[in-house]
Amino acid sequence: MLPGYPIIEYVFCAPLRAGRPAPSVRRAAATTRRTGRRHAPTSAHPAGLACAGRRAHAEDMGNGDGPTLITSVQRAFRLMEAVGAHEGGAPAKQLARETGLPLATTYHLLRTLAHDGYVRKLEDGGFVLGDRLETLHAGGQGQALLNRVRPALAALRDELSAAAYLTFYEDGEIRVAEIVDGPRAPRVDLWVGFEEAGHATALGKCVLRELDDEARDDYLSRHPLADLTPRTITGRAELLRTLDTLPTAPLVTDMEEYALGTFCVAVPVYSGQTLGSLGVSLRADRVSRIDEVRNRLLPTASRVTRGLSLTI
């Protein structure tokens, strides 16, 4: 409330009826008769300012024709495009001219974008794109790669009626990148964090088998061999011996080592310099189908590796 002005409980922003003053005018007249002091015009009253703010907000959201668009977001993207067009950087005034934005708006947007890392201010006052855009770009590349290989995983799921999994070894961890399942091919309940159970899953053991001794020792030194089921290998020497003497290589299996009632098979895949694994999970009573699984899994792994190796 502004000092010296009375409290008005209800303020309406509504169309006026012909021949009848606006509610704010009637209240102003009543206040003048009662106190001898003229009421402030609606445009100066906080409620009037709120109405004006709503109008400005509506303009920022678009003109009401077609989909709702946030003008300020469009301006920010337009500004980043202008910044990206200058490899050596460009000052705010030049960017304002190129984008047609008011200089004050340009400064506000640049300050916000710089705060969040999307642009960076140079010592000479120019602006260049920031490191956050590289993170977005890398994420977009990863999504594009997964989109490229997802049909192969879906086909594998349908052929074997089994959930299909894709993992990558990144930053010293084995991470699930994609799971393609369905009503007839439910995924394994990852009740234990997958990153902590590489020793107990076919997907994890497949990656560990492909790692060099140094990387493998680093992983095992940071991840205790938890006893997840009665079949889980919990001794490091036994695990390494098993990995080095697999009779089914390159196939790696886990026979209810991660979850009772579940049988998993995996083979290695590669994405450039990145190692990963492709696998499926089935009910333990379907272990007799391992030859069929092998015949489907190996060609699919080759297709996935080719898809991951293509340059975006």
Asked if 199 and 237 touch (Cβ cutoff 8 Å), the reply is no
User: For the domain 145-309, what is the CATH code?
Assistant: 3.30.450.40
Is it the case that residue 51 has pLDDT exceeding 50? no
Asked if 198 and 219 touch (Cβ cutoff 8 Å), the reply is yes
Is it the case that residue 280 has pLDDT exceeding 90? yes
154 confidence band (pLDDT: 50, 70, 90): very high
Phi-psi category of residue 161: left, alpha or beta, with phi > 0 → left and psi -120 to 50 → alpha: left
pTM above 0.75, yes or no: no
Rounded mean pLDDT, 106-111: 93
Which residues have CB under 8 Å from 148's CB, separation 6+? 307, 308, 310
Amino acid 231: pLDDT: 95
Rounded mean pLDDT, 243-272: 90
Among 57-66, 191-200, 246-255, 268-277, which stretch is predicted with the lowest mean pLDDT?
Answer: 57-66
Domain residue ranges of the chain, discontinuous segments joined by +: 1-59, 71-132, 145-309
What single-letter amino acid sits at 95? Answer: L
Question: 3-state DSSP helix/strand/coil percent for the chain, to nearest 5?
Answer: 50, 15, 35
Same fold, 71-132 and 145-309: no
Asked if 239 and 233 touch (Cβ cutoff 8 Å), the reply is yes
Amino acid 49: pLDDT: 40
Q: Is the preceding omega at residue 250 within 30 degrees of 0, hence cis?
A: yes
Class at the top of the CATH hierarchy for domain 71-132: mainly alpha
Asked if 152 and 307 touch (Cβ cutoff 8 Å), the reply is yes
Written as six digits, the tokens of 304 are 């996935």
Asked if 263 and 283 touch (Cβ cutoff 8 Å), the reply is yes
Asked if 62 and 71 touch (Cβ cutoff 8 Å), the reply is yes
